[in-house]
Structure formats: structure tokens, C-alpha cells
Copies of this chain bind each other. A is one copy, B any other.
């Protein structure tokens, strides 16, 4: 089984880190195929950037889908997720959505703990996009954004552990998603001290991609496929796919 781990950000060090997490949870016989965006933004952090990156995601999948069993879209806001599901005949998961669904399978209510107040609104939007807001107890985050991101897994560890306790004890969460790319891989490290059942989004997305591929869903007669049509200005693989060639 081959899973395409597609990073819509242009930062390959992020891809490397996520690939390591994915390979850590994927069983034998699962190959994680990394792919990093070569245009767009170093990192996506707004809706406008996600609109643009989402279009690039479609180009990237169109070009690299040969021999792939499922795709992980691994960036802020699952850019292009709904469009990719409509267009391609294979399972596509986003890290935010997969984290939410996995959390909802592990407990009744879930929270998100993250490193900056700027992420709170975005995670709330991500949960609403799944439809699971009735089981969401909110985002717990520090009141100010950290100055520097590269060392936050170390420096903020105590604060983040305290936030998981707030999520469970004050807000009533059973499960806590540790969200945000700079915190990728932290969940298993703090699990012995943190409160609640922790979920790492990249790990969750990897396992969900494997689960969906394992179902071997038939796309032969799926509904809602867009009608074939000509286009202008798209990359050749995507243009060919949309044209029905």
C-alpha cells in the first residue's frame, strides 16, 4: 500500500518531520511517499493562502497519483480536501479532519490544544467543517503567541500539559488533539504527564488513510463526478483529467 503524504507548504523540513511520524505508525507493507509543494507559500496560515494552495494540491495529486492508494493533505486547513475528493478516484484525507474524526471515535467530547491564540479561530472552523461541533469543547491555547517556533516543543511543554488539563477538567473533554505543525509528534512524548487521551493529527491522518485504502472503496460508479471539460492555464495532468482524456 502506498500513501502519498502531500505537504502543500514549500518547507521540506516539515515534510521530513511528518514523514517520520507517519512511518512510525504505519505498519509493515505501507510505503509513505512524500511530496512537497514547489510553488505557493513556505507555510500556509490564512484562508486566502489555503484557497491558492488548494488549487496547487489538485495539480500535485493529478501529477503524482499513479500507483497511490490514498492521499494525505498535510497543511493548515486541509486545503483542497473537498475538491480533491470530488475529482480523484481514491481516498483523500486532511490532517485536521482526520484528527477530529479519530478523536470522536476515541471519546465522547474532544478539545484542541495548540500553541497560539491565532490558531483558535482556525481550529474552530476546521471542526465546523466536519459537522462535529456538538462534540467539540473548544480550543485551549496560551493568551499570547510565542516569539519563536522552532523550540516550542521543549520550552512550552509545561504550558501545553497544563492546557490539556484545562481541556479535560474545565471544559469536559475526553480526548485532546495536539494541533499545529510545530507541535507535530509531541503528543506521545507528553502523554505520560498530559491529561486526556491525546491525538497527533499526522499520526491520525496516516492511520485513517490506511484504513480507507484498506476498505478498497470502489470508485467505478461513484456519484457527482464533474462532467468533462476543457480548461485554460492548468498543468497538463490536471487539465487532462478534467478534460476526461
Interface residues in A9-31 (C-beta closer than 8 Å to B):
10, 25, 27-29
The answer to whether B196 and A222 touch across the interface, beta carbons within 8 angstroms, is yes
Is A204 close to B, CB under 8 A?
Answer: yes
- Count residues on chain A whose CB falls below 8 Å from chain B CBs: 95
The answer to whether B193 and A221 touch across the interface, beta carbons within 8 angstroms, is yes
The answer to whether B173 and A188 touch across the interface, beta carbons within 8 angstroms, is no
Is A229 close to B, CB under 8 A?
Answer: yes
Name 15 extra pairs, CB < 8 A, besides A28-B29, A48-B87, A191-B220.
A45-B229, A46-B227, A51-B58, A54-B54, A93-B105, A102-B215, A120-B172, A128-B134, A173-B223, A188-B218, A197-B217, A198-B217, A199-B215, A207-B211, A207-B214
21 A-B pairs with CB atoms under 8 Å apart are A25-B215, A28-B28, A28-B29, A39-B233, A40-B231, A40-B232, A40-B233, A42-B230, A45-B227, A45-B229, A46-B227, A47-B83, A48-B58, A48-B242, A52-B58, A85-B174, A101-B101, A131-B133, A174-B222, A192-B221, A211-B211
